[in-house]
Amino acid sequence: MREELIVSGRMNPHIDPQLQIWEWHIPAYLFLGGLAAGILFFASYFYIKGKSEEYPTAVKLAPIFTPLLIGLGLLFLLLDLKHKLYFWRLYTAFKIESPMSWGAWTLMAIMPLSAIWAAFNIKSLFPKWDWKFDIVKDAIKVLEEYKTPIAWAIMILSVILGIYTGILLSAFNARPLWNTSILGPLFLVSGMSTGAAAIIILSKSKVERHTFAKIDLLLIAIELFLIIHMFMGFRASSQVQIDASAMFLGGQFTAPFWVLVVGMGLVIPAALEILEMRHKKIPYMVAPVLVLFGGLLFRFIMAYAGQMSRWLY
Amino acid sequence: MRYAMAVDTKKCVGCSDCVVACQTENNVPIGYCRDWIVEVTDGTYPQLELEHRSERCNHCENSPCVRCCPTGASHYSDGGTVMVTKNKCIGCGACIASCPYDARYTHPEGYVDKCTFCLHRVKKGQQPACVAVCPTKCMYFGDLDDPNSDVSRVIKKRKYKTLIPEAGTNPQLYFLI
């Protein structure tokens, strides 16, 4: 028997008895960032492919919400900071080894671009929209000449944003549950899946909903594959990662993760989407709402469980 | 120059004097601590083995906290010590999440705080507060690049271990066993 105790009574807030430095802000922000990244990716991709008329929700309508989603995410991020007045220090340094640093810079770049994209398409949501000032109209007209390069920039940055939400966590060697390079792709695919789900919810065209249901189905399949892969990797890794995965394979997160995230958030929506494609009568809203819910819960569970996983010495 | 500390687990009695000395010297806010004592009990009665360790920031050579810090607030300073610049720290918690030793905390004023190896004392030629106050003299501090420093000599003579070297941090806190 071996027992390790801190006998000098260390009780540092948010550190002891177990790390809880990040509460709801970070998972909520990761969800919003992934969602925005997914929507922006589809918007720019289908614009570049010349499918703006075929998929108007994806290219025009849905991205109007992305500056708000990113803005809300940034607000959560700011609320999470404990030394708030110094937040601008993020933008006086660029540290290539710190995912948080280049994430901050990516957000700085993609947020104005998403706002410009929204400005291009605002009339599709509010047909009577008027910019009031000529200078704004002129600026948008000038920018519209560069719509394709802007779309390319958004597409690349959205992939970086999506993958960063996972790499942010996977860079922490100290938390074995997060310390897997699969987390980056997993969060990217999950974010794109929530983006596709949001487009399905907003879309009024059956053709568009059908296409995005197919895309979502593919993304869900990749996600399931990555999740299984992640746990295979944990099981075959060092003791700390075996312990970390045990929280999901018999431990306290088993039921919420496998029933709510994997079952309700991935398998059931995938099944519904398949049935819908076979022309069974199913309300089209159910599957995408479940996907969004699953994506949100997935990030909460990963954020909380990751902080509980640790090295033992 | 490479500052390091060695703690003799055979001499340490776990009195927590180092903890209180640090709190006093560094004005650590009430309810927080930068160093702490771990007591390890191995075996079952009557075959028991006991180890006491006075632990703190390991001032790692490959510090995950310095790597993860988005602003450069966490940085390497004199003798390889890991320090935090208060007015660069945004309190994001990345360094706290990245530390496998849980050696950092958020100061009530918002910035992240931790052991400094009492660099302000060391620069004056004094020992860190925890080392200076230890009643069993179980701690050794000094420059590893100087073969005649207390810490170099004791590490040469004795068997030692570091904490979770497999985390790849290359810690500079040595425990004599």
Please give the residue of chain B at the shortest CA–CA distance from A95.
Answer: B70
- Residue B175 phi, psi dihedral angles, 5° rounding: -110, 115
CATH of the domain at A195: 1.20.1630.10
Q: Which of A30, A78, A82 to mutate to test the interface with B (most CBs of B within 10 A)?
A: A82
Amino acid A133: pLDDT: 87
pLDDT digits (tens, 9 = 90+) for A11-36: 999 999 899 999 999 999 999 999 99
d(CA A62, CA A199): 6
Whole domain around residue A89: which residue ranges? 25-308
A121-155 in b/e form (b: 16+ CB < 10 A) is: bbeeeeeeeeeeeeeeeeeeeeeeeeeeebbebbb
d(CA A84, CA A77): 10
Whole domain around residue B161: which residue ranges? 3-176
Please name the helix (run of DSSP H) or strand (run of DSSP E) that holds residue A274, with its range, or none: helix A268-277
Query: Given B41, B67, B88, which is nearest A89 (Cβ)?
Result: B88
**Shortest CA distance to B19 belongs to which of B9, B8, B28, B10?**
B28
Amino acid B64: pLDDT: 96
- Roughly how many angstroms between the first and final C-alpha of chain A, as a whole number? 14
> Please, are residues A30 and A296 in contact by the beta-carbon 8 Å criterion?
no
pLDDT digits (tens, 9 = 90+) for B66-101: 999 999 999 999 999 999 999 999 999 999 999 999
Per this entry, what is the length of chain A? 313
Per-residue pLDDT of chain B (177 residues; tens, 9 = 90+): 999 999 999 999 999 999 999 999 999 999 999 999 999 999 999 999 999 999 999 999 999 999 999 999 999 999 999 999 999 999 999 999 999 999 999 999 999 999 999 999 999 999 999 999 999 999 999 999 999 999 999 999 999 999 999 999 999 999 999
CATH of the domain at B151: 3.30.70.20
Q: Looking at this predicted complex, what is its ipTM?
A: 0.92
Q: Determine, for residues B70 and A97 on separate chains, whether the beta-carbon distance falls below 8 Å.
A: no
d(CA B117, CA B103): 12
> Please, are residues A262 and A234 in contact by the beta-carbon 8 Å criterion?
no
List, as ranges, residues 101-120 from B with C-beta within 8 Å of A: 102, 104-106, 109-112
Q: What residues of chain A lie within 8 A of the CB of B92, using their CB?
A: 80-82, 100
Amino acid A313: pLDDT: 66
Please give the residue of chain A at the shortest CA–CA distance from B32.
Answer: A12
Q: Which of B71, B99, B113 to mutate to test the interface with A (most CBs of A within 10 A)?
A: B71
The answer as to whether A15 is a domain residue is no
d(CA B6, CA B114): 18
Counted domains in chain A = 1
Instruction: List, in sequence order, the alpha helices (H) in A49-146.
Output: 56, 66-80, 99-125, 134-144
d(CA A270, CA A262): 11
The answer as to whether A7 is a domain residue is no
Eight-state DSSP code of residue B154: H
List, as ranges, residues 112-171 from A with C-beta within 8 Å of B: 171
Counted domains in chain B = 1
State which residues of chain A have pLDDT below 50: none
Amino acid A265: pLDDT: 97
The answer as to whether A10 is a domain residue is no
Beta partners for B55?
Answer: B36
**Shortest CA distance to A7 belongs to which of B49, B15, B32?**
B15
- Residue A26 phi, psi dihedral angles, 5° rounding: -65, -50
The answer as to whether A164 is a domain residue is yes
